[in-house]
Each structure stands twice: as structure tokens, then as C-alpha cells.
Amino acid sequence: MKKEIWDQLKNTTSKELINALEKDGWKRQFRRGAIQSFVNPDTNEALTIHHHPRKTYGPKLLKMIIRHSRWNEEDLKRLGLIK
């Protein structure tokens, strides 16, 4: 991942990430406390997010979530996560 992209992503909150998932078509499957599970209706892949509204994710976890959601640079721009 390019440094200028990572500089924009590293402060992404869980709320922003969840909004981007929903905007991209992921459907919330269930919520139990801080744990929220989403399913991509096109691929039936599941993704679990630990939601703490104003908290950000560590670099490894954030990269794993982006990789698992299969977002590329254009997707990140379309979803408003980067400029």
C-alpha cells in the first residue's frame, strides 16, 4: 500500500469503516455488543468487525480488513475513505 494512501487510512474509525462496508453493499448479519458481522451478498464472504465508535484499528488489523473486503485504491476513493 502506498504511503500517501496509508497516511489517510491509518486514522479511520470503526464507524467510518462500517459505513463504508454498508455503502459497498455488505449486509449486517448480526451484532452482539462490540462485535458486528457483515456478509457480502455477492460472494457470501463474512467479515467481523469490533466496533468501538471513536477508536481506530492497528495497522495489521486495518490492512487485513481492507484486504478481506477486496477494496482497491479506486474502491477506497469511491467509499470516501481516501481522497
Share of the chain above pLDDT 70, in %: 100
Considering the segment(s) 3-78 as one domain, its CATH architecture is 2-Layer Sandwich (3.30)
Instruction: Output the pLDDT for position 54.
Output: 82
User: Is residue 1 scored above 80 in pLDDT?
Assistant: no
Instruction: Output the pLDDT for position 53.
Output: 80
pTM: 0.89
**Interatomic CA distance for residues 70 and 72, integer angstroms:** 7
Give, for 48, the enclosing helix (H) or strand (E): strand 46-50
Domain borders along the chain are 3-78
- The tens digit of pLDDT for each residue in 35-68 reads 999 999 999 999 999 998 888 998 899 999 999 9
DSSP code per residue over 51-69: --TT-B--HHHHHHHHHHH
In what order do the strands lie in the sheet containing 27-32?
27-32, 35-39, 46-50
Average pLDDT over residues 20-45: 94
